[in-house]
Chains A and B, each alone.
Chain A
Amino acid sequence: MQKRLKIYFLLFILSVFNAGNLFAAEEFDVKSLIYSHIGDSYEWHITSVGETEISVPLPVILIDKENGISIFISSRLREGASYKGYRISEKGEYANKIVYTTASGKVSRPVDLSITKNSFALIINCTILLIIILSATRWYKGGRQRAPKGFVGAMEIFIMDINDNVIKSAIGKGYEKYAPYLLTVFFFILINNFMGLIPFFPGGANTTGNIAVTLVLALCTFAAISFSGTKEYWKEILWPDVPSWMKFPLPLMPAIEIFGVFTKPFALMIRLFANIMAGHTIILSLTSLVFVTVAMGTATNIGMSALSILLTVFMLFVELIVAYIQAYVFTLLSAVFIGLSRVRKQAIN
């Protein structure tokens, strides 16, 4: 109680003297902050100390008709600098991307295979995933017949839970063929989600909230669904058991079914992307409250900062759950779709 009174008193004093504008309240652009975070960049910004920006420069790899393959470090392009005719476009169609300006002033985009922040984060996360899984695997070599403890035990619980309760129950007989893929997907998404929640250097990149990453994952699942599709599955799509006027002369049902084939992986892609991106956006917005409210006076700023920290912590906990749930849902739905594509005639009758 006394503590709370003290805080109120402090707030009162501060508002009376209106010490608010001690900090120069610059215009704080929340939108560009959030976009630069959830988007991609050519270097990995860590922090700013005074005027110096501390960031990890990453390799830029460009393939162009005129220059061929050019590989250089991204710090050469810092703050609008130009290197061999390449520069980072500030606005327009190719905003924040490397563009090539020819001698005649024509702007074009080269083939850009740069290891960007997200690519680099993916590589780090993949390395962590490999270390985790392979170090757990090493314990099992030599065929010992007892239960593991500690880290390997926890991993075993995790893996066997996904294997038995998700993959086995969704696919049914013959699930063993798909278990390695689905487990890889699950742990890949999980590690990337968790790493995205760590706010400093090796983490913090918005990998699973990037559409390119989820697109590849969804395409892999699409391939798995399509390749495991039985004759019965394709027959149900192209010539389903419905009254014949629904499929001839106008192929109404086949059209819907074929559309459905593509909406399944599309939904997987969008769900993961949107959930993780939204989580990052909310946390960043809440954190931005601290800086946005600077202009509103110190009392408001302190109050809103406390609220912001509270809400950010709460959202981080929610995101921890979301990180698991999204990995789980992606794996579960992939397994369910694969299970559905392995339909047999007896199963229907």
Chain B
Amino acid sequence: MSLLVPESGLLFWMCLSFGIVFFIVARYGFPVILKSVDERRSFIQKSLDDANTAKAMLDNIKSESEAIIASAREEQMIIIREANKLKNSIIKTANDEAREITRKQIESVRVEIQNEKDSAIRDIRSQIALLAVDIAEKLVRNELKESPAQMQLINKLLNESSPFKS
């Protein structure tokens, strides 16, 4: 029966030791551990959330960059096409202009040649006239006696003196 009767001395020491342990451990022990584990849990949760948002942002950026690349490629195509068109038109106008200039030059050269030719012919004609006058002078000086013989002489002189061969 003595087993079921609490001993006052043991009660005293139990109260004292349990009280001290409870005071120390419940104040400086468990709350510290529980608090830091809670903090770590929320830290882990926050890190996971952050990682998820970062991943979502990364996916967003990826798709955005893909869209940018696609649009850039399209623009590139348009620019190349326009540049091609521009190139062709430039070449065409340049060709046209060149042809026009050439044509004009040829024209002017032809006119020059014509002028030269005309002046040359005019020159020759004046030369011929001078020659004819010379010849006539010579003929006149040769005493113009018989007319057929004179004509013969004129023709002969003409034949001798110029490109105007009959």
Contact = CB atoms under 8 A, between A and B. Distances in A.
Contacts of A335: none
B28 A216 contact: no
A137 B6 contact: no
A27 to B, nearest CB: 23
Interface string A99-136: 00000000000011111101100110010011001101
Interface of A: 38-40, 61, 95, 111-116, 118-119, 122-123, 126, 129-130, 133-134, 136-137, 140-141, 143, 145-147, 155-156, 159-160, 163, 176, 179-181, 183-184, 187-188, 210-213, 215-217, 220, 277
Contacts of B37: 156, 160
25 contacts: A38-B3, A111-B8, A112-B7, A113-B8, A119-B17, A122-B13, A130-B21, A134-B25, A134-B28, A134-B29, A140-B32, A145-B40, A155-B33, A156-B37, A159-B30, A180-B30, A184-B21, A184-B30, A210-B7, A210-B10, A211-B3, A211-B5, A213-B14, A216-B15, A216-B18
A39 B24 CA distance: 29
B23 to A, nearest CB: 9
A39 B13 contact: no
Contacts of A277: 3
Contacts of B18: 122, 126, 188, 216-217, 220
Contact of B13 (A38, A123, A136, A220): A123
Nearest to B11: A212
A214 to B, nearest CB: 9
B33 A179 contact: no
Contacts of A159: 30, 33-34
A180 B31 contact: yes
Given A145-B39, A145-B40, A113 B29 contact: no
Interface in B52-68: none
Contacts of B28: 134, 137
A-B residue pairs, 5 tightest by C-beta: A180-B26, A212-B6, A119-B13, A212-B10, A133-B29
Contacts of A137: 28-29, 32-33
Given A122-B17, A140-B32, A130 B11 contact: no
B25 A129 contact: yes
Contacts of B21: 126, 129-130, 184, 188
Contacts of B88: none
Contacts of B3: 38-39, 211, 277
A119 B10 contact: yes
B136 to A, nearest CB: 133
B25 A184 contact: yes
A162 to B, nearest CB: 10
B152 interface: no
Contacts of A113: 8-9, 12-13
A38 to B, nearest CB: 7
Given A112-B7, A180-B25, A216 B2 contact: no
A159 B32 CA distance: 12
Contacts of B7: 40, 112, 116, 210, 212
Contacts of B17: 119, 122-123, 126
A182 B27 CA distance: 13
A194 to B, nearest CB: 16
B36 interface: yes
